[in-house]
Amino acid sequence: MTWILIHRWSYRRCQGPSTWPLIGAAIEQLNNYHRMHDWIAGYLSESTTMTVPMPFTTYTYTADPANVEHILKTNFTNYPKGELSRSYMHVLLGDGIFNADGERWKKQRKTASFEFASKNLKDLSTTVFRNYAIKLSTILSQVSQERSRSVDMQDLFMRMTLDSICKVGFGVEIGTLSPELPDNDFARAFDMANMIVTQRFIDPLWKLKKLLGVGSEAILTKSIKVIDEFTYNVIHKRKTEMKVHASKPREKIQHDILSRFIELGDDPEGSDFNNEKSLRDVVLNFVIAGRDTTATTLSWFIYMLITQPKIEEKLNAELKAFEEKRAKEEKITLDSVDMQSFKTRLLQFASLLDYDSLGRLPYLHASITETLRLYPAVPQDPKGILEDDVLPDGTRVKAGGMVTYVPYSMGRMTYNWGSNASCFQPERWLGEVGHVLQNVSPYKFTAFQAGPRMCLGKDSAYLQMKMTLAILCRFFHFRLEPCHPPVHYRMMTILSMEQGLNVLVSTRHS
């Protein structure tokens, strides 16, 4: 008892959560696990950085852009993913790009960056993203005819982005966005595994559960089996297709990210990727990047439109003006929607959307960016600490601990964004003339990381989101389902919605 009293007395003036001997802040953190991001944001609104002792390590959380730049750029080598974080995520992400450090990370990034920079991938992505946005629109059009029928937009977006990344990234068609919306065991298992590995960060007993094969770790093992079965099937299918193409040299081969890594495995310098386990890690890392992050952002965007009707009106006005101008350029006569079939007019509009023309929708771009500011797809990004260091704000961090910059908190801090930080305001990204996008430091707006680990898929993500939302916002109106539970995030590495986003859909005819 005396020991506990001394400990509590010594921490009486420290900012941050209540701590106790041996268990640190575990009790308060566990009590707030369901609202962890807001719990952290509450403390970071009082101080730009906070330290949270836990049973086996110490977490340092920061929302200070200067600290973020120090971690992600200035002293980058001192803050790898770290063995602790890697151990939590390894069962799901293995040695893939988001869970790797050192030379293995460099090789993967080099290969992926080459592919993302290619014109072929950009052209393929534009076509694929347009086609899947049209498929989604067809489903929504059918739903709109049944006025009392609701649909989960988060589920539809997850299906669309999974199909998209499998087509663009791995060259395979899996059909989860088919009109009948088939059950998706892989997606369900992937989400479950994501939740469980996230819990490991605050669960000191996870290794014991794994050893005994009980509780959440038993569920994780079953989920990983489903995930691996799907992933290895994708790899086998792509390898088979590549062999068929190789026997027909005159056929044009579609190069995708997975194909690049398969070819790299055949090269002596790419020996790290000459086994299917390594390719499995590549696939799953790009699934979480291409599926989850984009789908959750699209979901939060639709939710913002539902709660902000004035912004929906401004966005629709921009899209209508864009349609009229592009139609004149292409010498297309636009009749009213009522005078044509709804689908014909939607296809006509979709044909006007390409990589370059989407850049002429600044309010749409600003609205997506504002969504990412308040609802970043990756709400926290933990790093290991190799050597003792002092952050720019004076916080001392020790080797072996972890430091986490918190995009979710950063977007809500008045010291970063002013007194209206908590407001959804796309105009903050536009200049005085209303159409020039403002540049903001990536160490302040951290939705796509920054420094050497800056997200390679940023342009691809914006392309898919703008393509999809331009079509959806031009032709559909969304309302939250009556009696919908409060929209809240689920505790995962990705900021998905806990109860989905069930909406009623109606079509626009003007």
Number of domains in the chain: 1
Tens-place pLDDT, residues 481-505: 999 999 999 988 899 999 999 999 9
414 close to 383: Cβ distance less than 8 angstroms:
no
Give the domain range for residue 370.
94-376+411-507
Average of per-residue pLDDT across 354-369: 95
Q: Which residues pair with 403 in a beta bridge?
A: 60, 383
Q: Could you give the 3-state DSSP secondary structure of residue 51?
A: strand
Annotated binding site for heme: 455
For the chain, percent of residues with pLDDT exceeding 70: 90
Is it the case that residue 82 has pLDDT exceeding 60? yes
Q: Is residue 55 part of a domain?
A: no
Residue 48, pLDDT score? 95
- This prediction's pTM: 0.90
For the chain, percent of residues with pLDDT exceeding 90: 58
Other Cβ atoms within 10 Å of 4 Cβ, number = 11
Query: What whole-number distance in Å separates Cα of residue 162 and Cα of residue 173?
Result: 10
Tens-place pLDDT, residues 233-286: 989 888 888 888 777 665 555 667 888 888 877 766 655 677 889 899 988 988
- Provide CB contacts within 8 A for 479, sequence distance 6+: 306, 503, 504, 506
Amino acid at 424: F
Is it the case that residue 304 has pLDDT exceeding 80? yes
Name the DSSP class of 389.
E
173 close to 163: Cβ distance less than 8 angstroms:
yes
pLDDT band at 10 (very low <50, low <70, confident <90, very high): very low
Other Cβ atoms within 10 Å of 498 Cβ, number = 14
Q: What are the start-end ranges of the H helices in 247-335?
A: 257-265, 276-287, 293-307, 309-329
Residue 8, pLDDT score? 43
196 close to 325: Cβ distance less than 8 angstroms:
no
pLDDT band at 2 (very low <50, low <70, confident <90, very high): very low
Is it the case that residue 469 has pLDDT exceeding 60? yes
Lowest mean pLDDT among 384-388, 435-439, 465-469: 435-439
Residue 13, pLDDT score? 45
Tens-place pLDDT, residues 134-166: 999 999 999 998 877 899 999 999 999 999 999
Is it the case that residue 337 has pLDDT exceeding 60? no
Amino acid at 470: A
Annotated binding site: 455
Residue 470, pLDDT score? 98
Strands (E), 329-435: 381-384, 389-390, 396-397, 402-405
Is it the case that residue 450 has pLDDT exceeding 60? yes
Tens-place pLDDT, residues 33-63: 889 999 999 999 999 999 887 667 788 999 9
Amino acid at 480: L
pLDDT band at 6 (very low <50, low <70, confident <90, very high): very low
Q: Is residue 9 part of a domain?
A: no
Average of per-residue pLDDT across 114-143: 90
- Provide CB contacts within 8 A for 365, sequence distance 6+: 359, 429, 437, 462, 466
Residue 28, pLDDT score? 77
Residue 20, pLDDT score? 57
Query: What whole-number distance in Å separates Cα of residue 444 and Cα of residue 495?
Result: 19
Q: Of 28-42, 82-96, 149-163, 193-207, where does the model show the most confidence? A: 149-163
Task: Supply the CATH number for residue 440's domain.
Answer: 1.10.630.10
pLDDT band at 5 (very low <50, low <70, confident <90, very high): very low
Q: Is residue 77 part of a domain?
A: no
220 close to 211: Cβ distance less than 8 angstroms:
no
Q: Is residue 11 part of a domain?
A: no
Average of per-residue pLDDT across 448-472: 95
Residue 4, pLDDT score? 45
Which is higher by pLDDT, 460 or 273?
460
Rg (CA), the chain: 24
Average of per-residue pLDDT across 218-247: 89
Is it the case that residue 22 has pLDDT exceeding 70? no
Is it the case that residue 100 has pLDDT exceeding 70? yes
Is it the case that residue 422 has pLDDT exceeding 80? yes
Lowest mean pLDDT among 20-24, 88-92, 245-249: 20-24
Which is higher by pLDDT, 264 or 126?
126
DSSP string, 60-76: EEE--HHHHHIIIIITG
Is it the case that residue 436 has pLDDT exceeding 80? no
Residue 433, pLDDT score? 61
